[in-house]
Amino acid sequence: MSESNHSRTALVTGGARGLGVEVCRQLAQAGMTVWLTARDEDRAAAVAAELADDGDVRAARLDINDPDDIAALAARTPCLDVLVNNAAIDYDTDQRALSADLERVRRDLDTNLFGAWRLAQAFTRHLRASQHGRLVNVSSGAGSITDMTSGSTPAYSTAKLALNGLTRMLAAELRDDGVLVNSVCPGWTATDMGGGGRPVAEGARSIVWACLLDDGGPTGGFFRDGREIAW
């Protein structure tokens, strides 16, 4: 997607913290106009201003659990080529599947699955119109069914597993429109959620790879660092 990045626009959810900031930075450096979105509008504006030297980064308020917020942003966004469903909550290492608080599981699903789903529905029109649309669901190895050999992080893992299923279905539905839909794991990364791990710029590169895929690139896959990983 390199030749014409300068005419392309990306939107990143949860853009004011952690991997989201760095994804915004790298997409701006690649020449895209980037909408850095966050629940807190002032914070979004402050972080977008910090990225001014990296390129064209604009701020918008967006709570991915608020359908009115999403609809309003979709209505006032003229075009969008890349949607990055990055925002997520609650890596619940303190829970196990047998004893999990199911209200907490429900809250996780609302943000980590339905949040991404809401955004995908709201911006499908834009991605189709782009003809080079890219939809990146930021997932996690914790959602890999192959690796689910313990009951740990049940809320988070269930949500990411379902998000991966959503990726497959959306990829199938959007294949004929040239929209590439993929799940990406950034790897264990040193953000508030990761609490350790590799540098944020490295984790973000894993996500940005899927944003910058050339036309005809993979769709409906699950990747880390540009390599396919097990569902």
Ligand X SMILES: NC(=O)c1ccc[n+]([C@@H]2O[C@H](COP(=O)([O-])OP(=O)(O)OC[C@H]3O[C@@H](n4cnc5c(N)ncnc54)[C@H](OP(=O)(O)O)[C@@H]3O)[C@@H](O)[C@H]2O)c1
Residue 229, phi then psi, degrees to nearest 5: -125, 165
Residue 156 a catalytic site member? yes
Q: Strand 222-224 relative to strand 227-228: parallel, antiparallel, unpaired?
A: antiparallel
CA distances from 223 to 99, 136, 139 (A): 31, 10, 9
Binding mask 157-196 for ligand X (x = CB under 6 A): ----------------------------xx-xx-xxxx--
Which of 5, 86, 130, 183 is in the footprint of ligand X by CB under 6 A? 86
Q: What is the distance between the alpha carbons of residues 191 and 161, in angstroms, rounded to a whole number? A: 21
Q: Please choose, from the candidates 158, 139, 166, the residue with its C-alpha nearest in 3D space to the C-alpha of residue 230.
A: 139
How near is the Cβ of 194 to ligand X at its closest, in Å? 3
154 contacts ligand X (rule: CB under 6 A): no
Q: How far is the CB of 193 from ligand X (least distance, A)?
A: 3
Among 20, 55, 154, 221, binds ligand X (CB under 6 A): 20
Cβ pair 122, 71 in contact under 8 A: yes
* 220 C-beta neighbours (distance < 10 Å), count: 17
Looking at the DSSP bridge assignments, the partners of residue 40 are: none
Residue choice 63, 77, 217, 231 for contact with ligand X (CB under 6 A): 63
Q: How many residues bind ligand X (CB under 6 A)?
A: 31
Positions marked active-site:
156
Which positions touch ligand X (CB under 6 A)?
13-14, 16-20, 38-40, 62-65, 86-89, 111, 115, 138, 140, 185-186, 188-189, 191-194, 197
